[in-house]
Structure 1
Amino acid sequence: MNNDILNLEQAVEFLRVSEKTLIKLLREENIPARKIGREWRFSKEALINWIASGKSFDYINQTELYKISKDMPGNCTDLFNNIIEDLSKIKENGNNIKYVLEDLDRDIVIPENATLRVSYKQQRDVEKLEFKIFWDLRENLK
């Protein structure tokens, strides 16, 4: 039997990573693999080439230059009230998000022409309801 083609367990052993890590790579990276029926198959040569062609710099998310967040666990009623309170603070302070994210080192004002995205996601063992307001980066910050 030719051992140039690996199943998931063999690829885990070959790459010396956990199965969880390999599954994450399959979801998030462009790892060379083919799903045949319910099983994943990997070419040893393609995996070697994939690793050899990578640059660590490529894996730093260059599109996410700055990130500050806060988590507020609680029951739904409290969470909804927290959202309303935070939005009120932002609105009362000229759309400046620094009033709800205290770790920001500068004022960031949401412009009048922004977009709201509401999305639902299921990723692995977590379900997410996300409210995102986004806008184009101001020219002086590019």
Structure 2
Amino acid sequence: MTDRWLSVEEIAAYLGVSKDTVYAWREKKGLPAHRVGRLWKFKTDEVDEWVRSGSAAEPSEGEQ
């Protein structure tokens, strides 16, 4: 059992960003997350793939 579900706090630490950034990325950029009751949970392999795909990148100048 090596691929456990991570909390917002844990995924924020894993990515080196704030919890607010995690919530914003989930809502606006499609950060893969799963709702478990009232909590959001994350799989590192899904988040890693999302980052590799470029979805976490800031838009270039002129893009929105």
Residue matched to 2:32: 32
Contact 1:8 1:40 in 2 (8 A): yes
Deviation at 1:27, TM superposition (A): 1.5
Q: What one-letter code is carried by the residue in structure 2 that aligns with 1:22?
A: V
Query: What pairs with 1:5-84 in structure 2 (closer than 5 Å)?
Result: 5-54=5-54, 56=57, 59-60=59-60, 62=63
Contact 2:3 2:43 in 1 (8 A): no
Which of 1 and 2 has higher RCO (CA within 8 Å, sep 6+)?
2
RMSD: 2.2
Q: Deviations over 1:39-83 (max 9, x none)?
A: 0010000011110111647x3463x5xxxxxxxxxxxxxxxxxxx
Q: What one-letter code is carried by the residue in structure 1 that aligns with 2:45?
A: E
Q: Deviations over 1:59-117 (max 9, x none)?
A: 3463x5xxxxxxxxxxxxxxxxxxxxxxxxxxxxxxxxxxxxxxxxxxxxxxxxxxxxx
Going by fraction, where is strand more abundant, 1 or 2? 1
TM-score using structure 1 length: 0.38
Determine what percentage of the aligned residue pairs are the same residue: 26
Contact 1:4 1:45 in 2 (8 A): no
Q: What one-letter code is carried by the residue in structure 2 that aligns with 1:49?
A: E
**Deviating runs (4+, > 2 A) in structure 1?**
1-4, 59-62
CA distance in 2, matches of 1:49, 1:4: 16
| Structure 2 counterpart SS, 1:6 | coil
Deviation at 1:23, TM superposition (A): 1.1
TM-score using structure 2 length: 0.78
CA distance in 1, matches of 2:22, 2:46: 15
